[in-house]
Amino acid sequence: MDVYVDTGPGMTAVGEVAAWSFDLEHWGECGQGITEDAAVANLARRTGNAQQRIVDRISTAMRDEVFEADLRPATGAQVSMTAHILRKERRRTIELVARASVYQLEAADEGVAQPVWMRWRTASAIAWHIADTESRHYLRLVGGGERAPVPDLLGELEESGHWIQAQLLSIRRDAVERQGTELWTTVKVLRRLAWHERVESVFLRRRLKAAGLDVR
């Protein structure tokens, strides 16, 4: 499996290295760790593929923070896989949130392990963040639109999920936009979208389990 290693300014700022897969089978999968070896090993565990070859790197000197593969126009398969992953993850998120009590959603157990840079400390905050990032962040980075939130969490998760699916149907495939010092492209946004809810859900489940919800 080809591996893309990010040790750029963004990852350096949080004290981690990221190892990405662009393979369609493992689209948007990312291993993270405090060293490159740890990040690559984490990606191997996540994908079940230990045969890895590093083919590209983002270094601390590369302010644009893109891989060569990010600069290519997005393929229909990448768009479709992103949409599939988002549908799958959203079903899981909604099922968990719907079963949780208000107490479980708002519990802020300091014993739950999560990165220090991840400031959301309740399951509710994590779930809101998932929808917020999807509906009001990533697509704007490549010239897309955004939507206003609805008041209740389940409604927001449902509406955001429907909205992003509609946006992916017409997303510009070859967008390249500079936001501050960082370059954003359609492929970069798609892989980040495919990864985001998967990693946030790890900590959503941890917090709900610590609060007493039966989480499998």
3 state SS of 17: strand
Q: What residue has token string 């290519």?
A: 72
User: Does 119 map to a domain?
Assistant: yes
User: Does 216 map to a domain?
Assistant: no
User: Does 50 map to a domain?
Assistant: yes
Q: Are residues 6 and 82 in the same domain?
A: no
Q: Are residues 15 and 54 in the same domain?
A: yes
Q: Are residues 116 and 205 in the same domain?
A: yes
CA 20 to CA 6: how far, in whole Å?
A: 8
Task: Look up the CATH number of the domain holding residue 147.
Answer: 1.20.120.450
Cα 67-70-76 angle, rounded to 5 deg? 150
User: Does 183 map to a domain?
Assistant: yes
3 state SS of 179: strand
Range(s) of the domain holding residue 202:
71-210
- Residue ending a domain, among 62, 89, 114, is 62
The strand pairing partners of 184, in sequence order, are 177
Q: Are residues 45 and 97 in the same domain?
A: no
* Per-residue pLDDT, 60: 83
Question: What mean pLDDT is predicted for residues 39-43?
Answer: 96
Q: Are residues 121 and 167 in the same domain?
A: yes
pLDDT digits (tens, 9 = 90+) for 170-199: 999 999 999 988 899 999 999 999 999 999
Mean pLDDT of the chain: 95
Q: Does 160 have pLDDT greater than 90?
A: yes
User: Does 80 map to a domain?
Assistant: yes
* Per-residue pLDDT, 174: 98
Q: Are residues 145 and 162 in the same domain?
A: yes
For the CA atoms of 105, 91, 145, 186, the dihedral, rounded to the nearest 10 degrees, stands at 120
Confidence of residue 207 (pLDDT cuts 50, 70, 90): very high
User: Does 77 map to a domain?
Assistant: yes
The strand pairing partners of 30, in sequence order, are 20
Q: Are residues 46 and 102 in the same domain?
A: no
User: Does 215 map to a domain?
Assistant: no
Q: Are residues 142 and 177 in the same domain?
A: yes
Cα 37-43-48 angle, rounded to 5 deg? 125
Q: Is the dihedral of CA 147, 152, 153, 155 positive or negative?
A: negative
Q: What residue has token string 């017409």?
A: 170
Q: Are residues 47 and 103 in the same domain?
A: no
CA 19 to CA 4: how far, in whole Å?
A: 6
Cα 117-9-54 angle, rounded to 5 deg? 105
- Residue ending a domain, among 62, 84, 100, is 62
**Total number of domains in the chain:** 2
User: Does 201 map to a domain?
Assistant: yes
Q: Are residues 123 and 32 in the same domain?
A: no
Q: Are residues 117 and 82 in the same domain?
A: yes
Q: Are residues 120 and 168 in the same domain?
A: yes
* Per-residue pLDDT, 10: 87
- pLDDT: which is higher, 116 or 191: 191
Contact 26, 1 (CB under 8 A): yes
